[in-house]
A and B are shown apart, each in its own frame.
Chain A
Amino acid sequence: MNNFDVSFILDSLPYLLKGLQFSLILTAVAFSCGIALGTILALLVHLRVPVLGLIAKTYVALIRSIPLIMVLFWFFFLVPLFLGWLSGASRPVPVGATWTAFITFALFEAAYYCEIIRVGLRAVPKGQFEAAAALSLNPCATYLHVILPQVFRATVPIILTQTIILFQDTSLVYVLSLTDLLGAASKLAQISGRLTEFYLTIALIYLVICFGASQLVWRLRKKTKLQ
């Protein structure tokens, strides 16, 4: 500790930033796909669509009960088999860890976003559905123009908080040996033997990003509460 070496960190900053870039892209992709899929799942459950609603419910409960690392291992194992089966090939199609990470995070987060949106759907007052029906809006227009916009407004702070957790969780791709921010730091640390410097540095980077983001969410929450 006596010889905390900053120059090491500065020299390897570009590599760390590239890792950070991967973390952010993974977060963004998982967020967009997760929200889209999560909304669909939530609607299936909320509308009690026969069969599909039950499947969605089971999927969400299942995913939410297993550790993310276990899910990553599952997908790392299953996705090649599934693609092989889809393409009719007799053997698994290797897809690589990067793709596995993207697919897993999108599908995993969908379950968490689904739960948030489902609770939001339940919180919409019954009168809103009735007013829409009295105006003869069809179910599609009712959800698209009346219900979902209200749900998203009400749940934006929770969704964003979940997304900050998602960003933190992307560090778990370490178990697939990918080079995200943590992966980059751990590779550099191993080469140089400077574990202390590198791990403290990225801890600080994560802290700054997540703290900043959560402050923004907090402000947003206060603003929406005032309205």
Chain B
Amino acid sequence: MIQEARQYRTGLAVIGSGLAGFAASVFALQRGIRTAQVGNTGAIAYTTGYLDLLGWHGDRLLDNPWSGLATLRQEEPDHPLSRISDQDIRDAFFGFTQALSEMGVDYTPPGDRNLLGLTPAGTRKPTLCMPRTMVAGIAAAAAGDRTLILDIAGLDGFSARELVANAGASWPNLRSRRIIFPGVDAGVRVFPEVMARALEAPAHRQQLAGIIRSVAGDAKYIGLPAILGIHRPDRVHRDLERLTGFTLFEIPTMPPAVPGIRLREMFEQAFPARGLTLVPQQKVKSLELGKTTARLHLNDSYGKVEIEAETVILATGRFLSGGLAADRHRVRETLLGIPVSQPESRDHWYREDYFDLRGHPINRCGIRVDEAFRPISESGRPISERLFAAGILLGGQDWIRQRCGAGVAIASAYRAVSFAAGCL
């Protein structure tokens, strides 16, 4: 039996479920555009939860990312962020964090300065917005207040002692302590996601609060790995603060980490409820660009799916997510074979020194877009009037070294959606 493909028609099809893809859907919904989003779980589960705009430029740790952007525009005019105005970037971050907060994960709005978020190693990360559950750590660190960092027996890659050894130099009242997660045998391996789900239940919170109270000593703040719930982190957080009487904050863990899983699960619940067609966990197999519409082909667990869309946003990420791939000789874009700007040979992809502060040339390779964020061909003309691109698939940036991953994703998605809206 040949199965009929299920067909959807939509105004906008978003390809990719990373930050850029989700942000594009958020902005499309805010504009009332009929949207379908397809993408398998991508790098979002890797994120710390911090939304970076621009943390480093050249040799400078940016206290103020906005003045950093001004320099960036002069020195790197091809950087995707150089092509978006401050106002649009600010609006994008406001719109996105507001949407997150409404859907159930409260985020800080974009400010004028970077926040220095804690990392699991106790180093600091310049970032623009963060989940509310992490915020108290900033104040505690800035004031050098009495703080106890807890880690959990059996949770690897998160050592409170390590964090204190590294952050302690500028934070004298920092202590560490290991606890056993309630209901777990000492030393057995535990996973952040499992603990976070457990803490959705009030009984587990009670038990954890008891443990925290028993070890807290004279601490004012308590820092923990990010495990405070999946679906209602702010409620879990508030409840634990109430039960313990301490100010609590979360610290990101090694991936796959809870803050990213929260976002993914939140979108997967909230989007269909708001009328968006979401085809999660699937890859678009091919994409045909026609004169008036584009057609996406894919399979889900029930069979073939075809999506006919008036506009498409490509947000398929880089190597890790499969938007780019390379053989021994060249880098290519995987879905349409869009030209990728790149160094002339593999010998130039990476520098000799891993930590070379200039970053590796391969991280700047990517597809090029025109003023309207449409991918362009070798000749510089858009590949299609209805195809737009967003996220770290775009060339000319180094999100890893510049700490601009979410910034590029959110701001370019914002622009791509507004141009796509113009075609509808």
| A and B interact | no
